[in-house]
A and B are shown apart, each in its own frame.
Chain A
Amino acid sequence: MTQLGELLSIQQLRYSFGSRVAVKDVSLNVRQGEVFGLLGANGAGKTTTISCIAGLLKDWTGRMLFNGQQFAPAVHAHDRLQLGYVPQELAIYPNLTAEENLKFFAKLSRVPSSEMKQVVASNLELAGLSDRRRDLVATFSGGMQRRLNLACGLVHSPALILLDEPTVGVDPQSRNHIFETLMRLRAQGHSLIYTTHYMEEAQRLCDRIAIMHDGTIVAVGTHEELALSIGDRQANLEQVFLQLTGRSLRDE
């Protein structure tokens, strides 16, 4: 793979919920045009890490650089403009149509009104919802809502897209559609941070993967590099993951 320039660099990121440290000195680099996977069990710190990057949490310590510049998305709105956030929940409005939802988020993301029509149309196309553009979201299937949820995070064509488990509860067709969309975005030069605990998804989509365990990154690299790190070149991602994080149950 061609070595690409760094888009986001995180150093020693630390975040606590009261006395409980959720993210412990996490450092990672996301390159331009790559899909970077954050893989971990429930409570490993994936969502907290992505929330810090998205500007949802502000009291973190450490350092973030975006294109080599200081990056404080919780403080500066223009830093958040570089990001597209697709939350785990279906964060769309069921009483609006697909078109109205896209228009709403496009307006918040400062898409010029002259480009609005074209932006909305292209994102409806991306979500495969052009023929349902004027239908209320409440009438959509779960998969359609997931696709719209993704499209709402892309309306302003951000440089870095944060995807927090975007395929939870999605049927195979919609999941495949989402994967194809993400591949297309990567091909267009967007960078993606993708959190999941589905091994096969991470293996299929991600150029590099960071395995998180108990708030720390225990390993980072391509699938091959991770397999090598446990001394088994043939190991699949699940075997690597279990080897690195242990087999005990995660209840956090």
Chain B
Amino acid sequence: MNTIAAAWVLALKDLKCFVRDRTALMLSILVPIALVTVFGWIMAYAFGGSGGMPKVTLHIIDEIQSPAGEKLIKRLEKHEMLRVKRVAAKDGQSISDGSAAAEKLVREGDANHVLIVRKPKPTDASEESNVTAASTAVGNRQAYPEQVLVRDPGRQMEDRIVQLALMQVTIQEQGDTVFANGVEKLLQKEGMAEENIKSIRGWMTDISSTFTEFFNADEPTEQTPTTVDGDLSETPEKTQSQSLEQLPTEAIEEDASGMDLNGLFEFAREVMPMETIDVAPPGRKQQVTYQQAQSVCGMTVMMLLFALTNCGSVLLSERENGTLRRLFAQPISRNSILLGKFMFVFAVGVLQMTVLFCYGEWMFQVGLFRDLPSLIVISVTWIAAAGAFGVFLAAISRSARQAESLASLLILMMAALGGCWFPLQMMNLPPLLDTVCKSTMTYWAMTGYQGMLWSQLPWYSTNTLIALGWQWAWCFGLTILAVFFYRRNYCRG
């Protein structure tokens, strides 16, 4: 028989064996299908589905609950880039000290951007001459509520989206003020004398009106100067939205067009009639970005699962090599063999975590060792849960090949659903998928690590304790199942 004929006979034999191994066959087909489905599904929501851009959550504290404030909030709610969540006191009343509440929300990681809508500050005499000219041009603009944006400065990507959305709405509402402020700032930068700027500011009244009319041209009900008690009926804002909708995609790709977008954003922020307060937990290093923390946490969580699943499959190797029979004949209990595997995977987990964290700290300086007790508690919990998962997989599998296929399928799915690859906060998930995500152990591991790294929460904070509790629940559940299947599949007879 020549080489090709012999190879063909061997290939046919392998194909027959493959087709007859129904489990391996099913997994070989199901794994790619499941991965394509999960990633296709989750990626669709990651980028806003058919809407183009992802929605970013903007919490709003309405301190005054005035018609003007309500109008602003309604506009923000209608914005296609924002998911607005109103924050109220427990009794449903408005929050009087919005700043404290907003800062608490951001500091504890419950919100990334909080907009406080509050009563406008009374203008002092020196400002009056400047502001009044612009304000009077559009009627009761002086009653437009003051906006304070309390934000987490490390959430750069979300920040751009929020800033753009707020800019769009503010220009629609107060285009004249924004325009006047912008020109004034530019002239100041160019070094023009203050008196000349004042004169120009006066001339700008007419221009401002035109500017406002231009931005509100597609909104017939909004064209005429409105009063604070104006009609809040919904107004179509499609033309304006569509023109601005194009902007974020380009804007978040920094330097794609060669523009200094950071500078543009800074300038826009200066001329916007809005105060910005940055709130970062005191221990967080300022150079750390959310993406870095996300990557370190996500990859650590996912890779530990892979590593410990591999270690768990030592049990299968023992069976396949015949050493397990010999171990069963030793004067030791069979449970001690399983326990030994748990201990082995735990030790490997500790080793891998230590190496990964040291590398992560060296590479990204994400402040991993700032709170060592929390790092230890959170890591030990995740190692225990991931180790239990690895041993459980080995206990239910009939061969190392089956375990490998099953591990790839489950780990990649859990990594995607748990937010190891993409921050779930950036996604506009439907309730069902949100529940699915929260049912994964990776989700809770990510919650624990992100709480510690990003929001600087100690291990005994409520959010972290909940995350730890879920992981221990997974750990105990999987351990019980692993013992059950080990006794059934390995020790029977």
A219 within 8 A of B: no
B85 within 8 A of A: no
Cβ-defined contact, B331 with A91, below 8 A: no
Query: Among the listed A56, A58, A83, A91, which residue makes an inter-chain contact with B323, where contact means beta carbons less than 8 Å apart?
Result: A91
A218 within 8 A of B: no
Render A77-115 as a binary contact track against B, CB cut-off 8 A, 1 for contact: 110110101011111110000000000010011100000
A82's closest neighbor in chain B, by CB? B331
**A residues 196-210 in Cβ contact with B at 8 Å:** none
Cβ-defined contact, B331 with A77, below 8 A: yes
Cβ-defined contact, A92 with B331, below 8 A: no
B327 within 8 A of A: yes
Cβ-defined contact, B328 with A77, below 8 A: no
B287 within 8 A of A: no
- Which residues from chain B contact A92 at a C-beta distance below 8 Å? 323
Q: How far is the CA of A109 from the CA of B332 in the complex (A)?
A: 8
Cβ-defined contact, A78 with B493, below 8 A: no
- Which residues from chain A contact B333 at a C-beta distance below 8 Å? 77
- Which residues from chain A contact B328 at a C-beta distance below 8 Å? 55-56
Q: How far is the CA of A108 from the CA of B332 in the complex (A)?
A: 7
- Which residues from chain B contact A87 at a C-beta distance below 8 Å? 322, 325-326, 329
Q: How far is the CA of A56 from the CA of B321 in the complex (A)?
A: 16
Q: How far is the CA of A59 from the CA of B191 in the complex (A)?
A: 96
Cβ-defined contact, A91 with B321, below 8 A: yes
B243 within 8 A of A: no
Query: Among the listed A58, A80, A90, A110, which residue makes an inter-chain contact with B329, where contact means beta carbons less than 8 Å apart?
Result: A80
Cβ-defined contact, B321 with A78, below 8 A: no
B233 within 8 A of A: no
- Which residues from chain A contact B321 at a C-beta distance below 8 Å? 89-91
Q: How far is the CA of A240 from the CA of B14 in the complex (A)?
A: 42
Interface magnitude class on chain A: 20 to 34
Of B322, B323, B325, B326, which is in contact with the most chain A CB atoms at under 10 Å from its CB?
B326
Q: How far is the CA of A92 from the CA of B325 in the complex (A)?
A: 11
- Which residues from chain B contact A89 at a C-beta distance below 8 Å? 321-322, 325
Cβ-defined contact, A91 with B332, below 8 A: no
- Which residues from chain B contact A55 at a C-beta distance below 8 Å? 328-329
Of B322, B323, B327, B329, which is in contact with the most chain A CB atoms at under 10 Å from its CB?
B329
Cβ-defined contact, A108 with B331, below 8 A: yes
B332's closest neighbor in chain A, by CB? A108
A57 within 8 A of B: yes
Q: How far is the CA of A81 from the CA of B329 in the complex (A)?
A: 9
Cβ-defined contact, B326 with A77, below 8 A: no
Q: How far is the CA of A165 from the CA of B43 in the complex (A)?
A: 58
- Which residues from chain B contact A212 at a C-beta distance below 8 Å? none
Cβ-defined contact, A78 with B329, below 8 A: no
In whole Å, how far is A200's beta carbon from the nearest beta carbon of chain B? Answer: 26
- Which residues from chain A contact B327 at a C-beta distance below 8 Å? 108
Cβ-defined contact, A85 with B329, below 8 A: yes
Cβ-defined contact, B493 with A80, below 8 A: no
Q: How far is the CA of A153 from the CA of B327 in the complex (A)?
A: 11
A41 within 8 A of B: no
Of A55, A91, A105, which is in contact with the most chain B CB atoms at under 10 Å from its CB?
A91
Q: How far is the CA of A108 from the CA of B327 in the complex (A)?
A: 9
B329's closest neighbor in chain A, by CB? A85
A59's closest neighbor in chain B, by CB? B493
B330 within 8 A of A: yes
- Which residues from chain B contact A56 at a C-beta distance below 8 Å? 325, 328-329, 493
In whole Å, how far is A31's beta carbon from the nearest beta carbon of chain B? Answer: 22
Query: Among the listed B323, B325, B331, which residue makes an inter-chain contact with A81, where contact means beta carbons less than 8 Å apart?
Result: B331
Cβ-defined contact, B325 with A108, below 8 A: no
Query: Among the listed B322, B323, B329, B332, which residue makes an inter-chain contact with A54, where contact means beta carbons less than 8 Å apart?
Result: B329
Q: How far is the CA of A59 from the CA of B493 in the complex (A)?
A: 6
Render B304-334 as a binary contact track against A, CB cut-off 8 A, 1 for contact: 0000000000000000011101111111110
- Which residues from chain B contact A108 at a C-beta distance below 8 Å? 327, 330-332
Query: Among the listed B322, B331, B332, B493, which residue makes an inter-chain contact with A90, where contact means beta carbons less than 8 Å apart?
Result: B322
Extra A-B contacts (18), CB below 8 Å, given A54-B329, A87-B325, A91-B326: A56-B493, A58-B493, A77-B331, A77-B332, A80-B329, A81-B331, A87-B326, A90-B321, A91-B323, A91-B325, A93-B323, A105-B326, A108-B327, A108-B330, A108-B331, A109-B331, A110-B331, A153-B326
User: Could you write out 6 A-B pairs with CB less than 8 Å apart?
Assistant: A77-B331, A81-B331, A85-B326, A92-B323, A110-B331, A153-B326
Closest A-B pairs by Cβ, 10 of them:
A89-B322, A85-B329, A91-B326, A81-B331, A77-B331, A108-B330, A80-B331, A91-B322, A57-B493, A91-B323
